[in-house]
């Protein structure tokens, strides 16, 4: 399923300015980041405690950077911007407050969670460029499976167009009377005669990062084969008008090992070499 020939730059729909700055280590001789994949499920409190300890050790110069790939048991997390009304089923799974950015999200089996502990003091101290680099990492990984991911203004995460679900009309500016969406008025002069048509979109990956003195933690979750009905207990990232999807839901017969390999290869392209944990 992997495709080494495609890249986001091959897509006419991908902005040309999506290419991220260089986040390679400025001093790789001091140690490459560790790439670790944990077997089984890791509890959320244990993962957070491990991240906190690792970040402190990185800041003290006692540990290397770490890219940690895990799976969680089913749970919901509330980021610093979470709205309690977006927790639709509070008794369905355990709910954990999180120091990461963002709102409510779901983690569970079949979802690859990647915790990213990188020292931007040794790379580039530009948080916006860093987020863009993480988005590019996921989009590049998806391209290896011939899936075209997108970033949308006002919507966090990575999205895919669902042409199989049809189109959603987008009203033209001025074509609807304010506050009365069911009562169209005459379009403004120069406005298109018909609404623009857009394909429906589903979210395939979420991103939520925290920085402590320029060392990152928390990270990215990519839907490989989770139970998508588990997302029904929340309004994912506060966005109710769009759905969620996964690689399996898109009809791709991939497994977690294949996704992990693609993630690692794409990470190396954008952030540099890694050391594989024993």
Annotated catalytic residues are 237
CA–CA distance, 74 with 230 (Å, rounded to integer): 8
Beta pairing class for 176-177 and 111-117: unpaired
Contact assessment for residue 105 and residue 111, using Cβ atoms and an 8 Å cutoff:
no
Long-range CB contact pairs, 125-133, < 8 A, 24+: 125/214, 126/21, 127/209, 127/211, 129/20, 129/21, 129/23, 130/23, 130/209, 130/216, 131/207, 131/209, 132/18, 132/20, 133/20, 133/21, 133/23, 133/270, 133/271
The burial class, CB within 10 Å (0-12 / 13-18 / 19+), for 227 is middle
**Element containing residue 96 per DSSP (H, E):** strand 94-97
Give me 193's structure tokens: 């005669």
């Amino acid at each position: 399923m992997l495709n080494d020939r495609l890249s986001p730059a091959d897509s006419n729909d991908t902005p040309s300015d999506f290419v991220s700055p260089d986040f390679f280590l400025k001093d790789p001789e001091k140690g490459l980041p560790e790439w670790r994949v944990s077997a089984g499920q890791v509890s959320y409190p244990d993962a957070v405690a491990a991240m906190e300890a690792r970040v402190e050790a990185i800041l003290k110069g006692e540990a290397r950077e770490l890219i940690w790939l895990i799976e969680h048991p089913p749970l919901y997390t509330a980021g610093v911007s979470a709205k309690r009304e977006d927790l639709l089923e509070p008794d369905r799974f355990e709910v954990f407050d999180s120091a990461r950015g963002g709102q409510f999200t779901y983690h569970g089996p079949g979802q690859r969670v990647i915790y990213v502990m990188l020292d931007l003091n040794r790379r580039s101290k530009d948080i916006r460029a860093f987020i863009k680099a993480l988005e590019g990492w996921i989009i590049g990984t998806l391209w290896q499976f011939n899936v075209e991911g997108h970033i949308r203004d006002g919507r966090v995460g990575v999205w895919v167009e669902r042409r199989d679900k049809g189109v959603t009309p987008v009203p033209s500016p001025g074509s609807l009377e304010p506050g009365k969406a069911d009562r169209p008025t005459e379009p403004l002069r120069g406005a298109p005669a018909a609404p623009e048509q857009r394909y429906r979109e589903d979210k395939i990956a979420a991103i939520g990062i925290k920085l402590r003195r320029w060392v990152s933690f928390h990270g990215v979750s990519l839907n490989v084969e989770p139970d998508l009905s588990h997302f029904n207990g929340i309004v994912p990232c506060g966005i109710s008008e769009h759905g969620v999807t996964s690689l399996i839901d898109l009809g791709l017969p991939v497994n977690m090992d294949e996704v992990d390999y693609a993630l690692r290869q794409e990470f190396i392209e954008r952030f540099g070499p890694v050391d594989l944990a024993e």
